[in-house]
Amino acid sequence: MLGKLIKYDFKAMFRSLCPIYVALIALTIVFSLMVKFNFDQGLLFSIFAFLFVAALNGSIIASVILVVTRFSNGLLKNEGYLSFALPVSTAKHILAKVINAIIWAFIEGLMLCVCLLIMGAVMGSIKEVAYFFHEVFQALGVVEKEVLVTVLQIVAFLILEMISSVCLIYAATAVGHLFSRNQKLVAVAFLIVVCVLRSFLWVGLVNLSERFTAPAHVFTDDLILIIPPIIFAAVYAFITWFILDRKLNLE
């Protein structure tokens, strides 16, 4: 059932985001061709440059808005009657929304890479792009183990931070739903307060880790990156679950 929930949300977002991605790729090709053939002056170029930047930023903004909208409409509004009528636990509903958001975050990153590859291929050449990747893979082959481990830790941290951010947005949306008025204002205020508290907590953790340099201590440089996002995500997810499972009012 979890797979079906993810599939349903994925299809709903795909219908909205697919036209934006198609337009983004088309504008990338046109913009790159104009630069390649020196049509980089005049009103027409300015219009296409504006459309390209707007599509690039718009795809990111649209992804975030749709992730929040799918959560709000699917669980906190009229559609929630159908969702909670299914033989699925509240935790699985939340997990499906989080997984779907992460999938689309990766797709968004992939689309940006595709746009960069298109620009590189059109403005330069396919051979130059292939040579670039050849050099990158060769460099990765001789990277020291310590450097590779550090890179993997940073990647893991970024993924966990992304999951934590998604859970925070869902928690803020759920908290805002508890109020009959100014729900969006309450949600934004909750986000701001939590982000400020998180920044203070991060500073405290970093200062604490600097006091303990023994490898066996829990606050090592490696764990300081990994543990907090996991804890934050768990707290946000619990807040969301508690509100949806115990305090939800769809009337």
pLDDT tens digits along 154-190:
888 889 999 999 999 999 999 999 888 888 999 999 9
Q: Is 217 helix (H, G, I), strand (E, B) or coil?
A: coil
Pick the residue with more confidence: 142 or 193?
193
Q: Which residues contact 80 (CB under 8 A, 6 or more apart)?
A: 74, 248, 250
In this predicted structure, the answer to whether residue 203 has a pLDDT above a threshold of 60 is: yes
Q: Are residues 34 and 48 in the same domain?
A: yes
Q: Are residues 71 and 194 in the same domain?
A: no
Per-residue pLDDT at 49: 85
Structure tokens given for 44: 């027409």
Q: Are residues 4 and 120 in the same domain?
A: yes
In this predicted structure, the answer to whether residue 219 has a pLDDT above a threshold of 60 is: no
pTM, two decimal places: 0.83
Q: Are residues 23 and 43 in the same domain?
A: yes
Which of these ranges, 11-15, 34-38, 72-76, 112-116, has the smallest mean pLDDT?
34-38
Final residue belonging to a domain, choices 87, 114, 141: 141
Per-residue pLDDT at 99: 94
Q: Are residues 116 and 27 in the same domain?
A: yes
Q: Are residues 23 and 103 in the same domain?
A: yes
Q: 85 in the Ramachandran plot: left (φ > 0), alpha (ψ -120 to 50) or beta?
A: alpha
Q: What is the pLDDT of residues 109-147, one digit of tens each?
A: 899 888 888 888 887 666 666 666 666 666 656 556 666
Residue 65 structural domain: 1-141
Q: Are residues 113 and 172 in the same domain?
A: no
Mean pLDDT in residue range 243-247: 88
Q: How far is CA 207 from CA 125, 157, 168, 231, in A?
A: 49, 19, 24, 18
- Residue 209: CA atoms inside 13 Å, Cβ hemisphere, count? 17
Structure tokens given for 109: 């990153």
- pLDDT tier at 94, thresholds 50, 70, 90: very high
Q: Are residues 86 and 156 in the same domain?
A: no
Q: Are residues 135 and 159 in the same domain?
A: no
- Number of domains forming the structure of the chain: 2
In degrees and rounded to multiples of 5, residue 54 shows phi and psi of -65, -40
